[in-house]
Homo-oligomer: A and B are copies of this chain.
């Protein structure tokens, strides 16, 4: 049996998320259907994480096993010929049979895209959230810096989530701007439910003056969702990259 790793891009608007669900089309199901068409058998597909409905991915990692003798390049081409426009196989590599896309992940990087100003941009529809106003990215970066490190992020977890250990480490959180487009890259060892979207909403509260940069330690230590800002909409969020330990190299990141 061979094991293949697929790097996927998908547009979240067309799916109920990664995982197979009863209430709509998931990326996982879509991929299994395409694999079945191409291979003649229906392999299980294991992903690196769940993504919520509407969330995009530009570096999603998923594996499947098959005894096919096809080359990786032919698998990519074949799947892309079958898959809808909203999902694309960006790369396919053969991996060790022991490799697991979730358990072997050392870090994940998300990016949140938004743009400010009063005019909506028809070319960013569904690809970035439009914040109607002006954002102070310098201030947002200063607040973001206070979140880096190992903390209990309970204040940044959606209410109703049942996770017990809410400590996570954030390796970096970078706010960059090019004209009106703002990107917030967050890399960490793991993320709680809605954590990145709540971080983004909190940085926006800081820009608007509803929270101060100096309030960030207090927001963290409150361990209470209501201390943080609003949850930014799903349409701006992308799973950007998953980092794996490369044998013989220093651990990532």
A76: contacting residue among B10, B119, B121, CB under 8 A = B119
Nearest B-chain residue to A56, judged by Cβ: B123
| Complex Cα gap A10–B120 (Å) | 10
Give the number of times this chain occurs in the complex, counting copies.
2
> Quick one: given A11-B125, A85-B125, A125-B85, are A120 and B80 in contact (CB under 8 Å)?
yes
A119–B85 contact, CB under 8 A?
Answer: no
Do B11 and A122 touch (CB < 8 A)?
yes
A127 to B56, CA, bound (A): 17
With an 8 A cutoff between CB atoms, is A234 at the interface?
Answer: no
Interface size of A by CB at 8 A reads 23
Q: Is A51 an interface residue (CB 8 A)?
A: no
From B80, B125, B127, contact of A119 by CB (8 A): B80
The contact sample of 17 A-B pairs, CB cut-off 8 A, is A9-B121, A10-B122, A11-B122, A11-B123, A76-B119, A77-B118, A80-B118, A80-B120, A85-B120, A85-B125, A86-B122, A86-B125, A88-B119, A88-B120, A88-B121, A90-B119, A123-B127
Give the interface of A toward B (CB within 8 A): 9-11, 56, 58, 76-77, 80, 85-91, 118-123, 125, 127
